[in-house]
Structure 1
């Protein structure tokens, strides 16, 4: 096989393998804005999540279930913050769409979105 043939073969194999490894499809990352008063979530490789709804700290776990992500064991602090929309505290499931994380409540209603850092 020629060098050109080897190069083409290597590119084809890379193209087949990369979509499964792409960080754009993986939920493991930091989502949202890491600024006071802004919602932010970190989904760790070990299935833990942490973050803030903009006021309260959030912690729990996550697990992929088909094309969505189910959250469980969510706990938060209970501080009162004026002028902060704490919509993220109602999260029960997530869905990754490229660099956007869609956040849903227990009824499947979309609460909002977070962008990948």
Structure 2
């Protein structure tokens, strides 16, 4: 993801992103007895918990950054400032992002977005553990952590 560039938006992805950003969510716990069940990578709403070792907080004025992997290899989400989209490939534990683009809204604080886009560019692996999704760098370092949530 060398530089975020503008790209044409796909209507279906844009509609999905708009619907997702307006929904509330809760932790994904639906197993017998309320235990946490493993969530699939695709078609799961993943909220950003931390990036580059920094916790991501949600305020009333800001939507929580998130990511959504679709079955057809497309990815979309919200960085805390801008909508983004692109493609991804998974082979075993390897995950690569490709052709990433975003809107270019002017925002007062773009630190989370900058760190998230840098994490996408460095991602070579993925670790799924229950409701946690970790993007991993070349040496296995944790670049970003997301938590699965179910839509209410």
Counterpart of 1:89 (choices 98, 117, 122) is 117
Q: Distance in 2 between matches of 1:71 and 1:57?
A: 16
Say whether residues 1:116 and 2:148 are aligned partners.
yes
Point out where structure 2 has 5 or more consecutive residues left out of the alignment: 1-36, 49-57
Name the counterpart of 2:64.
38
In structure 1, C-alpha distance between the alignment counterparts of 2:84 and 2:63, rounded to whole Å: 14
- Match runs of 1:35-114 below 5 Å: 36-84=62-110, 85-86=112-113, 87-90=115-118, 91-92=120-121, 93=123, 95=126, 96-104=128-136, 109-114=141-146
Q: CA RMSD in A?
A: 2.6
TM-score by length of 1: 0.65
2:39·2:148 contact (CA, 8 Å) conserved in 1? no
Give the Cα separation in 2 of the matches to 1:32 and 1:58: 14
Unmatched 5+ stretches in structure 1: 1-22
| Pair member with larger Rg | 1
Count of residue pairs brought into register by the alignment: 94
Distance 1:61 1:116 in 2: 20
3-state DSSP of counterpart to 2:105: coil
